[in-house]
Every structure is written in C-alpha cells, then in structure tokens.
Amino acid sequence: MGIQIDALKCIACMACELVCGYHRDDAFALLSSCIVPYRGREKKNYVGVILKEEDSLVAARPEGVEINRIGEEQDPEKEADASAKPMLLRESCDLCDDMEDGPLCIAFCPTGAISMT
C-alpha cells in the first residue's frame, strides 16, 4: 500500500503540501511536508510532485513516475528536482496512519491526482 500520484492531473495548488505539513507539525509548516509539488522552470505548464518514502524518493512527472532509491547514485537531472527542497532530510510518508479517514493529501487534492495503490 502506498501513495500514487498522477502528475498529469496536478495543478500545483499546493494543498497536499500544506495538509501534509499540518499532519506532521500541527501547523502549516511546508518544510515538514513529505510531498512537494513543483513547477518546471523550462517548460510551460509542467508540474511534478516529489514524495519522500521510507527508502525512496518518488518523482511523479508528466512523462511518468520514477522511483529513486535513497543512497543509490542518482541521475543528475533527477537530483535537480529533488534538490529544489531538501527532501532527503524530511520524514517519510506514513500514509497518515494516525488519521481515521486516511491520507490527508488524498482528501484535499482537488483534482484526484493522488490515490492509494
């Protein structure tokens, strides 16, 4: 069981980042969030989402999802996304295991871009 992200549905509204930070810190602390949407600098309307999991960084991009195992050598282009924010230092997604109604990011995503696998 895990989080699945369809970057093609993402509009970079940042709701998932906000609610995840809230889940982590009981405040809107973006730096505590383990999910981070970002806009591409080069391409117009290019949106990706990075998720920190226990053993990996998941990069959901319009062209597909890439799972980068933490500790393994990264493609420089993939690292460029992840280094936009210090994702490796963040806590891993716990699937909101203390929330009765399940993951907050899924509940608050307005486009259905996030789901459970």
Interaction site with ligand SF4 (CB under 6 A): 3, 10-16, 19-20, 23, 34-35, 37, 49, 51, 93-96, 103-105, 109-111, 113-114
Q: How far is CA 37 from the centre of its chain?
A: 6
CB of 36 to ligand SF4, least distance (A): 9
4, containing H or E segment: strand 3-5
- Bridge partner residues of 66 (DSSP): 59
Q: How far is the CB of 59 from ligand SF4 (least distance, A)?
A: 13
Rounded Cα gap, residues 95 and 102, in angstroms: 7
User: Nearer Cβ to ligand SF4, position 73 or 114?
Assistant: 114
Distance in Å, CB of 42 to ligand SF4, minimum: 19
Choose between 73 and 100: whose C-beta lies nearer to ligand SF4. Answer: 100
The CB-side HSE value for 115 (13 A sphere, CA atoms) comes to 7
- CB 115, min distance to ligand SF4, A: 10
DSSP secondary-structure letter at 90? Answer: S
User: Which segments within 63-113 are labelled E, that is strand?
Assistant: 64-69
